[in-house]
Amino acid sequence: MLRFKPDGWLEGLLRPLILIDPSAGIYFERAAPDFRFAWLGLLLLVVWFAHRGRPGFGRQSTQALLLLGLTFYVWTFVIGNARYFAFGLLLVGPLLVMVWRRLPGTRSFRVSVLALVCTMQVYGVYQSYRPNQWGLARWSDGPALSLEDAPQRHRPAVFLTVTTISYSALVPLFHPDSRWANVTGQIDLTPKLPEFVRLQRLVASDLPRYIVAPILPNFMDADGQPEPAVREYYDRVAGSVGLGSAPAPCTALWSTLPTGLAETRGSGPRQRGFWICPLQATGRAAPAAATAFDARTLRVFERIEAACPRFFPPNNGIDRVIDGVALRHYAGSDMRLYLDGADRVQFRYFRAMNPTYVATGAEVLQDRFQLPCDKVDGRYRWPWARD
């Protein structure tokens, strides 16, 4: 993915300084400024010159520093995602202290430098850290997820989740012979992929089939059932695998883990829970292939891909038609390319607020367009280059 990769050599080489920037999405989705790599580089220079090129590190310490430097830039230019550099994020602290110990000057001076380093890092974390941003429920003791009992938990079945979060913590609470899949995460499968065949076999199983989705108290009717709009969404997602809602009602299973939100269910605090909604075959075949664009749309998209393959890699897009708009989604570059009914060609990087207009389809076919292939809207920009 291009999400965390630099857009040029200078941006990559200066990544130790860029990590200081409190902007979100540099190497992690949230803002997470890290001063340690910049301080490590600065103190290494001071020690190098102070000891006239003989810093006095042992062989293993020198190898650790070289390893960190090498892997830092390999990581930066290959992926840039913090989850694949966890060892470096852990190693930089001890190496920073090792270099600090070789600083010249008095003990008071060195302690002051270390205090400054720690203060800056603690302040950066304090300014950007927000606890429990991704927490779905509060938990302090007991099972990871406590759920009401129901017959569906004790019989083998096929359970399909329809949210971007798969809620895999539910799996141990149901029969061990049950099978699970997240349908939302499979919408881009095509018959060419082995996962497509396995998913088709799963939904064609003789076992009972259910949708599993979090209860939405604000979209629940007086009988505790999902409102029609929610049911419609479930049917749309399940329809991608040839299934739809069965006439039987959904079962609501409530958890004892409170969300801590202000909304209430009845007179008590709102709790997290899940609807278990039965499914049945609709008689309609599941979509077997990607959307087929007309020849002109394909030529327009191919011209865009040829002009800027970094953000629009050829043969890597997933095609959709939504409300008459031809859409090609490039998951690897977090980019979407559009051609609407007014013949306007636009794209949107996932961090950009609005689409960027390119040209009309006719202008694209005549090669009368330009693309900002070096820096699209939504990508990282130097602090002085921001609006």
Q: Report pLDDT digits (tens) over 60-72.
A: 999 999 999 999 9
* Any domain includes 260: yes
Rounded mean pLDDT, 147-155: 90
Which of 281, 313, 328 is where one domain is finished?
281
* Any domain includes 137: no
* pLDDT of amino acid 196: 77
Residues 198 and 232 in one domain: yes
Residues 115 and 180 in one domain: no
Q: DSSP secondary-structure letter at 24?
A: B
* Any domain includes 287: no
- Tell me the pairing of strands 264-265 and 268-269: antiparallel
Q: How far apart are CA 79 and CA 366, in angstroms?
A: 35
Which of 281, 306, 322 is where one domain is finished?
281
Residue 21's nearest CA partner among 315, 386, 383, 387 is 383
Residues 124 and 169 in one domain: no
* Any domain includes 305: yes
List all residues 6 or more positions away from 190 whose beta carbon is below 8 Å from its beta carbon: 196, 289, 290
Rounded mean pLDDT, 211-224: 89
pTM: 0.73
pLDDT(135) > 80:
no
* pLDDT of amino acid 292: 75
pLDDT(20) > 80:
yes
Contact between residue 326 and residue 297 where contact means Cβ atoms under 8 Å apart: yes
* pLDDT of amino acid 182: 86
- The residue ranking higher by pLDDT, 148 or 292, is 148
Host domain of residue 13: 9-128
Phi, psi dihedral angles at 81 (to 5 degrees): -90, 130
Q: How far apart are CA 183 and CA 233, in angstroms?
A: 12
Residues 160 and 262 in one domain: yes
The highest-confidence range among 36-40, 232-236, 251-255, 277-281, by mean pLDDT, is 36-40
Residues 273 and 313 in one domain: no
Q: How far apart are CA 360 and CA 125, in angstroms?
A: 46
Residue linked to tokens 């040209």: 359
* pLDDT of amino acid 115: 96
* pLDDT of amino acid 307: 94
Rounded mean pLDDT, 280-287: 69
Residues 212 and 329 in one domain: no
* pLDDT of amino acid 114: 95
Give the confidence band of 188 by pLDDT, cuts at 50, 70, 90. low
Class of residue 133 by CB neighbours under 10 A (exposed 0-12, middle 13-18, buried 19+): exposed
Residues 75 and 117 in one domain: yes
* pLDDT of amino acid 191: 64
Give the confidence band of 286 by pLDDT, cuts at 50, 70, 90. low
Q: How many domains does the chain have?
A: 3
Q: Which two tokens stand for residue 203?
A: 């939904």
pLDDT(187) > 80:
no
The torsion angle over the Cα atoms of residues 129, 130, 132 and 134, rounded to 10 degrees, is -90
Residues 258 and 353 in one domain: no
Contact between residue 184 and residue 165 where contact means Cβ atoms under 8 Å apart: no
* Any domain includes 173: yes
* pLDDT of amino acid 267: 40
pLDDT(372) > 60:
yes
pLDDT(4) > 80:
yes
For the stretch 161-171, pLDDT in tens is: 988 788 888 89
User: Which residue type does 311 have?
Assistant: F
Encode 283-312: b = buried (16+ Cβ within 10 Å), e = exposed.
eeebeeebeebeeebeebbebbbebbeebb
* Any domain includes 4: no
pLDDT(287) > 70:
no
Residues 164 and 275 in one domain: yes
Residue 364's nearest CA partner among 324, 322, 306 is 306
3-state SS class at 348 = strand
Residues 71 and 122 in one domain: yes
Rounded mean pLDDT, 125-135: 78
- Give the bridge partners for 254, in sequence order: 273
Residues 198 and 302 in one domain: no
Residue 221's nearest CA partner among 260, 256, 250 is 250
For the stretch 218-247, pLDDT in tens is: 888 988 899 999 988 888 888 878 888 898
The highest-confidence range among 269-278, 281-290, 323-332, by mean pLDDT, is 323-332
How high does pLDDT run on average in the chain? 86
Residue linked to tokens 């259910």: 210
pLDDT(265) > 70:
no
pLDDT(273) > 60:
yes
pLDDT(264) > 50:
no
Which of 281, 303, 336 is where one domain is finished?
281
Rounded mean pLDDT, 197-226: 88
User: Which residue type does 331 have?
Assistant: A
* Any domain includes 136: no
* pLDDT of amino acid 290: 53
Phi, psi dihedral angles at 254 (to 5 degrees): -95, 145
Contact between residue 212 and residue 234 where contact means Cβ atoms under 8 Å apart: no
Rounded mean pLDDT, 142-159: 84
Q: Which of 19-23, 67-71, 255-259, 280-284 has the lowest mean pLDDT?
A: 255-259
pLDDT(183) > 70:
yes
* Any domain includes 146: no
Residue 183's nearest CA partner among 322, 277, 249 is 277
Residues 23 and 75 in one domain: yes
Rounded mean pLDDT, 163-184: 87
Give the confidence band of 139 by pLDDT, cuts at 50, 70, 90. low
CA–CA–CA angle 349, 163, 209 (5° rounding): 140
